[in-house]
Amino acid sequence: MAIDVTLIPGDGIGPEITAAAVKVLEATGLEWNFDHQLGGMAAVAEGGDPMPAATLASIHRTKLALKGPLTTPVGSGFRSVNVALRKEFQLFANVRPAKTIIPGRRFDHVDIVMVRENLEGLYIGQERWVEVDGDPHGRAESVAVITRTGAERIVRYAFEYAVLHRRKKVTLVHKANILKNTSGLFLDVGREVAAEYADRIECNDLIVDNCAMQLVMRPETFDVVVTTNLFGDILSDEISGLVGGLGLAPGGNIGVDGGIFEAVHGSAPDIAGQGIANPSSLILASAMLCDHIGEDDAAAKIRRAITATIVADEVATRDLGGTASTREFGDAVAHRVA
């Protein structure tokens, strides 16, 4: 039976890296039914809406989406197309794995999964201006919201992920020493959930600034990291930097009833159409999609193929020190998968 997936090529380099990812997925031997839809500036150019109703309807139907980078139109009233998607589909968990692929670099043994709460915290966008001494913009205020329900859901997801993927430790990251209520609630709930898994999964907690330092000093001591929205946004990019940057960093946004998998880097309009973009992030996101639907063998094949292509075959794009084009790299990975 064919697997229905909403395919959103996106903007800039998006169509190029999406084509490579599709070729790799098709090489797995699974039967895919891709429903091509628009998003971002490509959708604005077509119909004036960065997230058309047809795209949303497709994702509601398929429960699965693979998307390239989307550009949020400036001055459109949209805070972020990606944030809008997370809210629309209640994608509460952002999952960002980072694993060393190329040996011999500064960090050889990084294998960290960041699990970030996606719907709460400061990113809810509850902000306001307060007048000070006649200046209507004299003070800006922003509200951070942490709920017991949201904290428990994301921490439990992290522990269940650890169990499913045979991980050994979960680290709770917080700022409860200063943010007594919001971060304090997250930490308290996290510890409650951790107690339920004490016989299976080790748990520790770190203040976010200490975590940021430890990640670059002792990255090998981390396994699964779970934290709130803002902290997760920052730390996930730091973790990606440990393994070579965003070009090797996939992401998945998971909800109760579906998932959207993506390249986490931007649309890079400055190199769009030149055929030099690294498609690894979206190819690895495709592997995450396979994991999500229970096609573990296909996911493993894709990951092994990426590593073999770069390390054994010495086929790499320019950002990784090679000369391969986007298409050549995608073809090489697909050949390995097949």
Kindly list the catalytic residues: 123, 175, 209, 233
**Helix H or strand E encompassing 220:** none
Cα–Cα distance measured from residue 60 to residue 119, given in angstroms and rounded to the nearest whole number:
18
Residue type for position 283? I
For 243, phi and psi rounded to 5 degrees?
A: -110, 10
For 7, phi and psi rounded to 5 degrees?
A: -110, 120
Contact 5, 62 (CB under 8 A): yes
What three-state secondary structure class fits 5?
Answer: strand
Cα–Cα distance measured from residue 260 to residue 254, given in angstroms and rounded to the nearest whole number:
7
Cα–Cα distance measured from residue 75 to residue 72, given in angstroms and rounded to the nearest whole number:
9
Give the count of beta carbons closer than 10 Å to the beta carbon of residue 263. 31
Beta strands in the chain (DSSP E): 3-8, 32-36, 64-67, 93-99, 111-117, 121-132, 135-145, 169-174, 202-207, 224-227, 250-255, 258-263
What three-state secondary structure class fits 228?
Answer: coil
CA of residue 55 relative to chain centroid, distance: 20
CA of residue 51 relative to chain centroid, distance: 19
What three-state secondary structure class fits 88?
Answer: helix
Cα–Cα distance measured from residue 305 to residue 318, given in angstroms and rounded to the nearest whole number:
18
Cα–Cα distance measured from residue 105 to residue 136, given in angstroms and rounded to the nearest whole number:
51
